């Protein structure tokens, strides 16, 4: 029959059209909210999603996976009296491995001893040039630079981030990437324990 194919196709769109309402009603009957809740958003981006698929940004937001990466930030540990212990040692690996070369690090020397200070004096990231590749975070040996989850970067001018803008506490990092943070802390503790054991081992024979 001529027109059968069209009718077959229309049945697909017809079903898709009603799916939204059927889903809505079934969520309503179960007493759950399909919109503006985390559960609803998760369901809409799962394999069982049916009917309406869109997320009403900015009222609703997609739940970012842990590995999501946007412009990097620098991690600092909170020391005593609110002192910021910047993890960065200005080793320069991030600047070397940056594909668009958007990281600038200024290292300075201690005026008294003349030896280089590990902590960078200035740290710039040209966020407009950054391609969010994540190499800097991947190859940083000190877990000092990490990729952010903040993707709302619109601005009226050029976005060149300096240290002040880049520094974020380790607690923030732990908040956006709990699994990575836990894994790194564990590795760090193991390393420190090994170091302590080695030091104790090295000291012990001398004293005995």
Minimum CB distance to other proteins, residue 4 (Å): 7
- What's the CA gap between 110 and 122, in Å, rounded? 15
CA angle (160, 161, 162) in 5-degree steps: 120
Distance CA 194, CA 88 (A): 22
Using the rule CB under 8 A, is 98 a contact of other proteins?
A: yes
Under a CB-based contact definition with an 8 Å cutoff, are residues 133 and 99 in contact? yes
Which C-beta is closer to other proteins: that of 79 or that of 99? 99
57 contacts other proteins (rule: CB under 8 A): no
Range list of H helices, 45-157: 93-97, 135-139
**Counting contacts by CB under 8 A, is residue 118 touching other proteins?**
no
Q: Could you tell me the two tokens for 108? A: 């300075």
29 binds other proteins (CB under 8 A): no
Q: Does 156 bind other proteins (CB under 8 A)?
A: no
**Could you tell me which stretch among 18-26, 44-52, 165-173, 198-206 binds other proteins (CB under 8 A)?**
44-52
Verify binding: residue 56, other proteins, rule CB under 8 A.
no
| CB-nearer residue toward other proteins: 27 or 104 | 104
Which positions from 60 to 79 touch other proteins by CB under 8 A, shown as an x/- string? ----xxxxxx----------
Residue range at the interface with other proteins (CB under 8 A); choices 31-39, 78-86, 125-133, 186-194: 125-133
Strands 70-78 and 167-169, bridge-based pairing: parallel
Buried b (16+ CB within 10 A) or exposed e, 16-54: eeeeeeebeeebeeeeeebeeeeebbebbeeeeeebbee
Which pair of tokens denotes residue 195? 């170091």
DSSP symbols for 63-81 = PPPTT--EEEEEEEEE-GG
Least Å from the CB of residue 112 to other proteins: 19
* Residue from 26, 39, 132, 199 in contact with other proteins (CB under 8 A): 132
**Residues found near other proteins in the complex (CB under 8 A):** 2-6, 8-9, 11-13, 16, 45-47, 49, 53, 64-69, 90, 92-93, 95-99, 101, 103-107, 116, 122, 124, 126, 129, 131-135, 138-139, 147, 158, 160
């Amino acid at each position: 029959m001529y027109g059968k194919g069209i009718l077959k196709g229309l049945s697909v769109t017809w079903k898709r059209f009603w799916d939204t309402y059927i889903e809505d009603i079934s969520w309503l009957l179960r007493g759950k909210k399909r919109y503006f809740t985390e559960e609803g958003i998760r369901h809409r981006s799962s394999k069982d999603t049916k009917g309406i698929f869109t997320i009403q940004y900015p009222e609703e937001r997609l739940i970012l996976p842990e590995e999501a990466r946007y412009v990097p930030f620098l991690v600092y540990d909170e020391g005593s009296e609110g002192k910021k212990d910047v993890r960065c040692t200005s080793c320069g690996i991030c600047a070397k491995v940056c594909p668009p070369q958007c990281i600038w690090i200024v290292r300075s020397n201690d005026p008294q001893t003349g030896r280089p200070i590990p902590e960078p004096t200035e740290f710039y990231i040209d966020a407009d040039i950054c391609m969010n590749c994540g190499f800097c975070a991947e190859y940083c040996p000190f877990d000092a630079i990490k990729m952010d989850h903040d993707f709302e970067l619109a601005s009226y001018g050029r976005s060149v981030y300096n240290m002040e803008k880049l520094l974020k506490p380790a607690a923030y990092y732990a908040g956006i990437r709990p699994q990575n943070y836990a894994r790194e802390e564990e590795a760090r503790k193991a390393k420190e324990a090994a170091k302590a054991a080695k030091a104790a081992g090295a000291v012990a024979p001398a004293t005995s």
